[in-house]
């Protein structure tokens, strides 16, 4: 079986590995169809780690994928051979306090697809996963749409965590990468139409505008606080941070109104952020952390099937399996207007 593995920093190579085998009666073997290149894959590619998660070479990354069921274990009932499936990359234990408490995404024994030391990624012709990670979507979604459900579900979850009770609120998003755009798409689908996007890359601002952002701010050219104040005198109710930048967090605190919510989704390069606690306390801001997603895959599928979200709008590039190293190079360097690159196996 062919797979593409990281062999050192910024180096990927094709290799031949053993066919993965069904081990448990509830496992399924999936022929991978489409893989999305994620910002977290890029961290492993360019830095060899995310925080304490360090790559041991060779390692296949990739966790955003769709595929076709090619073999099922004896007890599988959820899917059948030939089904196109959305794959939730998160494999929880089902037994710990977190799983029992309805938080499988913070499972203490969680294993994640394409995460070093956990599960090999999906940049491989076939993978084996437990059936509960598979959501059949034959005839409902394309292979590409199905692979985009994973990043979309994170945007859906971030917005759900913000617990917006009134669609007339004013919202802001830092970052117009795939997650920032997923958040924007979910907000618009909910009927929240007053959403500003703050992003230094002009081509990404243009994409946010095409999707429906109400106003755009380039923090490298304009003062974020001044620009927001021009549009929203009382400032913003909710701000989503999807860039992982300290400067974005600092600006977010400035542009939130008293009682506002700061939703942290982006992965910062270092483990720590500094917060202006004087402002945070005076405004009594709420900070919400987002860990991947929890129970939002089905909602994300429904939003795409119903046409409320055109998730493919975030795709800027398509590559063949052999072109995977080129895809990573382009996404890492923000080259050629890259937002979301898809690899077609």
Give contact residues for Zn ion (rule: CB under 5 A). 38, 64, 92-93, 96, 99, 107
Q: Residue 177 Cβ, how far from Zn ion at the closest point, in Å?
A: 11
Q: Is 196 helix (H, G, I), strand (E, B) or coil?
A: strand
168 CB neighbour count, 10 Å cutoff: 10
Phi-psi group of 146: left, alpha or beta (phi > 0 → left; psi -120 to 50 → alpha; rest → beta) = alpha
* Beta carbon nearer to Zn ion, 99 or 330: 99
Q: Residue 168 Cβ, how far from Zn ion at the closest point, in Å?
A: 31
Q: Residue 78 Cβ, how far from Zn ion at the closest point, in Å?
A: 19
* Beta carbon nearer to Zn ion, 37 or 137: 37
Strand order in the sheet with 236-241: 215-217, 195-198, 171-174, 236-241, 256-264, 286-289
Q: Residue 172 Cβ, how far from Zn ion at the closest point, in Å?
A: 22
Q: Looking at the chain, list the stretches that DSSP marks H as alpha helix, in order from N- to C-terminal side.
A: 39-47, 97-100, 143-162, 178-190, 202-211, 224-231, 246-255, 277-282, 297-305, 324-332
Please state the separation of Cα 152 from the chain's center in Å. 6
- Is residue 213 within 8 Å of residue 185, measured between CB atoms? no
Q: Residue 268 Cβ, how far from Zn ion at the closest point, in Å?
A: 16
* Beta carbon nearer to Zn ion, 38 or 173: 38
* Beta carbon nearer to Zn ion, 63 or 257: 63
Q: Residue 41 Cβ, how far from Zn ion at the closest point, in Å?
A: 7
Measured CA to CA, the distance from residue 37 to residue 339 in angstroms comes to 10
Q: Residue 224 Cβ, how far from Zn ion at the closest point, in Å?
A: 27
Nearest 10 degrees: Cα torsion 27, 30, 36, 41: 50
Place of tokens 């939730």: 88
Q: Beta 340-344 vs 315-320: how paired, if at all?
A: parallel
The token pair that represents 115 in the structure block:
């995460």
* Beta carbon nearer to Zn ion, 13 or 97: 97
* Beta carbon nearer to Zn ion, 194 or 293: 293
* Beta carbon nearer to Zn ion, 215 or 328: 328
* Beta carbon nearer to Zn ion, 141 or 224: 141
Q: Residue 99 Cβ, how far from Zn ion at the closest point, in Å?
A: 3
- In 3D space, the residue among 318, 297, 319, 300 whose CA is nearest the CA of residue 309 turns out to be 300
- Is residue 64 within 8 Å of residue 148, measured between CB atoms? yes
Q: Residue 138 Cβ, how far from Zn ion at the closest point, in Å?
A: 23
- In 3D space, the residue among 196, 178, 200, 177 whose CA is nearest the CA of residue 188 turns out to be 196
Q: Phi/psi at 173 (nearest 5 deg)?
A: -130, 125
* Beta carbon nearer to Zn ion, 64 or 227: 64
């Amino acid at each position: 079986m062919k797979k593409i593995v990281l062999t050192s920093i910024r180096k990927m190579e094709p290799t031949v590995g053993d066919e993965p085998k069904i081990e448990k009666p509830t496992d399924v073997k999936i022929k991978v169809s489409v893989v999305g290149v994620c910002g977290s894959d890029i961290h492993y590619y360019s830095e060899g780690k995310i925080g304490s998660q360090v790559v041991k070479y060779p390692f296949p990354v990739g966790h955003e994928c769709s595929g076709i069921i090619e073999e099922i274990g004896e007890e599988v009932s959820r899917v059948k051979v030939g089904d196109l499936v959305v794959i939730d990359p998160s494999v929880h234990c089902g037994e710990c306090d977190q799983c029992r408490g309805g938080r499988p995404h913070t499972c203490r024994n969680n294993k994640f697809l394409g995460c070093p030391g956990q599960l090999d990624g999906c940049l491989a012709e076939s993978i084996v996963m437990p059936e509960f990670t598979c959501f059949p979507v034959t005839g409902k979604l394309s292979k590409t749409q199905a692979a985009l459900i994973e990043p979309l579900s994170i945007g859906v979850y971030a917005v759900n965590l913000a617990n917006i009770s009134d669609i007339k609120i004013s919202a802001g998003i830092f970052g117009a990468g795939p997650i920032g755009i997923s958040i924007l798409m979910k907000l618009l689908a909910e009927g929240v139409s007053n959403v500003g996007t703050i992003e230094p890359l002009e081509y990404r601002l243009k994409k946010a505008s095409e999707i429906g952002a109400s106003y755009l701010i380039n923090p490298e050219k304009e003062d974020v606080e001044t620009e927001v104040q021009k549009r929203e005198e009382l400032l913003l109710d909710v701000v989503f941070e999807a860039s992982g930048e300290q400067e974005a967090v600092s600006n977010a605190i400035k542009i939130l109104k008293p009682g506002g919510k700061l939703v942290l989704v982006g992965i910062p390069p270092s483990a720590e952020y500094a917060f202006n606690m004087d402002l945070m306390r005076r405004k009594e801001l709420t900070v919400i952390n987002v860990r991947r997603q929890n129970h939002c895959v089905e909602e994300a599928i429904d939003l795409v099937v119903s046409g409320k979200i055109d998730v493919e709008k975030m795709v800027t590039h398509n590559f063949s399996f052999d072109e995977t190293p080129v895809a990573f190079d382009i996404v890492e360097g923000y080259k050629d207007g890259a937002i979301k690159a898809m690899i077609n196996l």
